[in-house]
Amino acid sequence: MGYGVIIRDEDGFVLGGGGGFQEGSFSVLEAECIASERSVEVANKLNLTGKVTFEIDSAELANKWNMDDGDITIIGSRIKKCKEAVNLFNSASLVWSHRSCNRVADLICTKMCREAKKWFFDMDYPKDIHNAVIGDIV
- 54, with CB counted inside 10 A (0-12, 13-18, 19+), is buried
Higher local confidence (pLDDT), 31 or 94:
31
Render pLDDT for 9-43 as a digit per residue (tens, 0 to 9): 777 778 888 888 888 888 888 888 888 888 888 88
Q: In the 8-state DSSP scheme, what is residue 24?
A: S
CB 92 within 8 A of CB 52: yes
**pLDDT band with cut points at 50, 70 and 90 for residue 136:** low
Q: Average per-residue pLDDT in the chain?
A: 79
- Is the pLDDT score of 96 beyond 80? no
d(CA 91, CA 76): 21
Question: What are the structural domains of the chain?
Answer: 2-137 (3.30.420.10)
- Is the pLDDT score of 74 beyond 80? no
- Is the pLDDT score of 98 beyond 70? no
DSSP class per residue in 105-117: HHHHHHHHHHHTS
- Is the pLDDT score of 99 beyond 70? no
CB 13 within 8 A of CB 133: no
Position 8 scores a pLDDT of 80
Q: At what angle do helices 28-45 and 59-67 cross, to 10 degrees?
A: 70
d(CA 7, CA 15): 5
Render pLDDT for 102-132 as a digit per residue (tens, 0 to 9): 777 777 878 888 888 788 877 777 787 777 7
Position 18 scores a pLDDT of 84
Selection from 9, 12, 79 nearest residue 43 by Cα = 9
The strand pairing partners of 54, in sequence order, are 94
Position 100 scores a pLDDT of 59
